[in-house]
Structure 1
Amino acid sequence: MSKIKFNGKISYRISSYLKLSQIALKVIWSKLTKKSINSKWSTDFEIGVLFWRHQFNRAFSYSSIQEGRAYFESLITSVDEDFEVISTPTNPNEPRGEWHRLDGQPTKNKILYLHGGGYTFRSEISLNFARMLAGLLKIELFMPFYRLTPEHPHPAQIEDALAAYKYLRNKGIEARNIIIIGDSAGGHLVLMLLLALKQLNLPQPAIGICLSPWTDIGERGKSFYGNDKYDLVQGYMAKQFDHWLQGNTNPVSESLSPIYQDFSNVAPIYVQAGVKEVLFDMIDEFASKLKAQNINITLDTWPQMTHNFQFHGNTHPDSKDAFSKIQNLIKKIMQP
């Protein structure tokens, strides 16, 4: 069962709640009449996909990204999880962000979590997912608040991710005890951070884990638009995120796309993706390319899942399975 939290303007709250109610009724009716988008989806899952697609579309409709963020944040849904995570902000002289600890207890291993949101949104949804990661994986987690686009285009994000990694290292945390996890644009940032560490001859983390990563900031594959009917993220949104990321810095798109980069001599990479997401083809091609080069990469896919399906935690069978795979992988490669 999802929990609902309201934020910000009353008009935005009402609009979001009415849309959620409308979508819920529409999905229930479509299930009864056998006209669902995907007959294999549960009612709750389909409601979530359609609602968050609407919220993204509405956010993109505003001329001001600040207003778009405010609308997106006006109604937040989260899943019930049976754990207590204590969140603590960093000190003023440290990189901006939050620590998340299960029962407030530190652990030897640490997670550096790079959130998604197209580099443009830092929603309470991402904060909730950070807590979920810390709770389900039972590992202390640091989530840096990297600078967002369009206000701060590239290279602000990689600079901040690198600063966050160095922050952990300066606290005496060994590289082999650091797990870097990112979703969506955060998955892109994980990959770019691994490359930056290699270029600077800095120690690699134990592993980079990418959930629905953005592996090509350009258009790639039939799924980019072909899966619009299934996914909460749409192809046109990825193109806008690309435009905001590049800003006026005029980098070559290939230089910001992991699929064109050399991933030799970096940490092992583990990737999860849903076959129904718009980024699926580029993720699949990225993994295939690296495997052909004998790079240590593993890709797990779920045929009916969409972008960032892991946000459902243990409340959905596929998401629960995805977390189980991450847990088993960490147990295999990390020291206790």
Structure 2
Amino acid sequence: MSKIKFSGPFSLRLSSFLAINKIALATYARHALGRRLERTWDAHFEIGIRFWRHQFTKALAMDDIDKGRALFDSLQTETDDHYAVRRSTSDSPKGVWHHPETRSSAATLLYLHGGGYTFHGAVSHRYADMLAHHSGAPLFAPDYRLTPEHPHPAQSDDAFAAWQYLRETGPAKQIVVIGDSAGGHMALSLLQRLKIEGEPQPALCIGLCPWTDIGDRGASLHGNDSYDLVQGWMALRFGEWLDPKGTFGRLALSPIAYDYNGLTPIYLQAGGREILRDMIRDFARAQAAKGADILLDLWPDMAHNFQALDSTRQSSTEALQRICAAVEAFAGAGPSMTAGPATEVCHGATFSCADHTEADAKTIGQFAVQSSL
């Protein structure tokens, strides 16, 4: 990361500044001794992972979640990438428009931010700017209600309201729903909500490192704890806050338990070092077996939400290029979306999977959804 920005109370700024410097010194020392966390990561990459994990951990340990959010926002790390984007606000529904200075796409993006349904701040706005800039498409990011103050179905209702708002501005065939992490969960859940409400489906749904099961699924959920900026226990905490009394249950709130056959095509991205890796793979394989149009790209050495690293990592650059290609393939005039070097699962008539082996999809029997729910 090249730039640091501060906000909020001085005490929190100072705490975060001291933390990142302590983490940086320890990381540089480990690298000097040849002790890298992941062999392909340089010191700056590892510092970012360790720092954001520290911030999440400290924020979630606070008795006051608002103070935790303020801590999380007190120090932001950014790349040097410049995004030519203008922001404007909406009051009904509440949210922010991110308008690229040069519009090059006919699509409109409905972006549902990540943060475990609990955090929302500068990092999400920066992420939205990045997506709008690279895609050349206007993007609306609703300020949906957060947990633990507002459990399910508040987020589902807010996503649906944002969808209805965008439907007033253009046809569904030009809207792409895109979300990262918990926002990916929200995007996938929205497709089912649209089906129930009798609404048309969007042109495409994009899930970036999406949360597909609110329960304890896959070895990576805890096995990748040391590599990722979020940890398995955090994901489970977010799931508890989404449904604190177990009113709805894991099955009802986990996209992996649903059938997406006949709904809009789904494009997914994941990192091999993130805690959600296995559940994302399971979701893609399960949906391919059910006949859904789905494509999953996975970059083996990447952590959660690696797309935000933009030009500083080759994998992030490739991922952003694939996102733009997907948007144009389904909501623009671009060529069809094809399987690429990072593709693990590719299935359905709307994706070009000719050069991709679908062995993963055919071994779905090893990943029986109901058996682990």
Partner of 1:212: 209
CA contact (8 A) 1:89 1:99 kept: yes
Please tell me the residue identity of whatever aligns with 1:39. Answer: R
Is it true that 1:197 corresponds to 2:194 in the alignment?
A: yes
Say whether 1:258 aligns with 2:223.
no
1:76 aligned partner, one-letter code: Q
Tell me, in whole angstroms, the C-alpha distance in 1 between the residues paired with 2:43 and 2:109. Answer: 33
Q: How far 1:106 sits from its partner (Å)?
A: 9.0
Do 1:106 and 1:140's aligned partners in 2 also have CA atoms closer than 8 Å? no
How far off is 1:322 after superposition?
0.3
Contact 1:52 1:232 in 2 (8 A): yes
SS in 2 for 1:73: helix
Query: Which residue in the other structure is 2:67 paired with?
Result: 67
Instruction: Tell me the CA shift for residue 217 of structure 1.
Output: 0.2
Structure 1 residue 107: Cα displacement: 5.6
Q: Which letter does structure 1 place at the counterpart of 2:281?
A: D
**C-alpha contact 1:223 1:278 (8 A) present in aligned 2:** yes
Q: Is the contact between residue 83 and residue 135 of structure 1 (CA under 8 Å) also seen in structure 2?
A: yes
**TM-superposed deviation, 1:7:** 1.1
Contact 2:111 2:178 survives alignment (8 Å): yes
Moved more, 242-251 or 309-318: 242-251
Structure 2 CA distance, aligned partners of 1:108 and 1:134? 12
2:173 aligned with 1:176 = yes
Query: What TM-score do the two structures reach when normalised by structure 1?
Result: 0.96
User: 2:221 is paired with a residue of what secondary structure?
Assistant: helix
Answer whether contact 1:217 1:257 (CA < 8 A) is retained: yes
Alignment partners' CA distance in 1, 2:104 and 2:201: 22
Q: How far 1:333 sits from its partner (Å)?
A: 2.2
In 2, Cα distance between the equivalents of 1:314 and 1:331? 21
Q: SS in structure 1 opposite 2:40?
A: coil
Contact 2:105 2:135 survives alignment (8 Å): no
Counterpart Cα distance in 2 of 1:213 and 1:13 = 30
- Structure 1 residue aligned with 2:341: none
Aligned mates of 1:323, 1:84 — CA distance in 2: 16
Flag as ranges the 4+ runs of structure 1 deviating above 4 A: 104-107
Q: Give the corresponding residue for 2:235.
A: 238
- 1:270 is the counterpart of 2:273: no
Shift of 1:237: 0.4
After the TM superposition, which residues 73-84 of structure 1 pair with which residues of structure 2 at under 5 Å, given as runs?
73-84=73-84
Letter in 2 for 1:122: H
Between the two proteins, the alignment pairs up a number of residues equal to: 333
Contact 1:179/1:206 (<8 A) preserved = yes
Alignment of 1:103 with 2:101, yes or no, is: yes
CA–CA distance in 2 between the matches of 1:106 and 1:330? Answer: 11
Letter in 1 for 2:56: F
SS of the counterpart of 2:120?
coil
- In structure 2, the residue matched to 1:28 is 28
Could you tell me how far apart the structure 1 residues matched to 2:238 and 2:83 are? 34
- The Cα offsets for residues 47-74 of structure 1, whole Å up to 9 and x where unpaired, read as 1100000000010110111111111111
Give the corresponding residue for 1:227. Answer: 224
1:154/1:246 contact within 8 Å kept: yes
Task: Work out whether residues 208 and 268 of structure 2, in 8 Å CA contact, stay in contact via their aligned partners in 1.
Answer: yes
Once the two structures are TM-superposed, the CA of residue 334 in structure 1 deviates from its matched residue by 2.3
1:127 aligned partner: 125
CA distance in 1, matches of 2:110, 2:248: 26
Question: Which position in structure 2 is the counterpart of 1:330?
Answer: 327
**What are the equivalent positions in structure 2 for 1:125-164 lying under 5 Å apart?**
125-164=123-162
Using structure 2 for the length normalisation, give the TM-score. Answer: 0.87
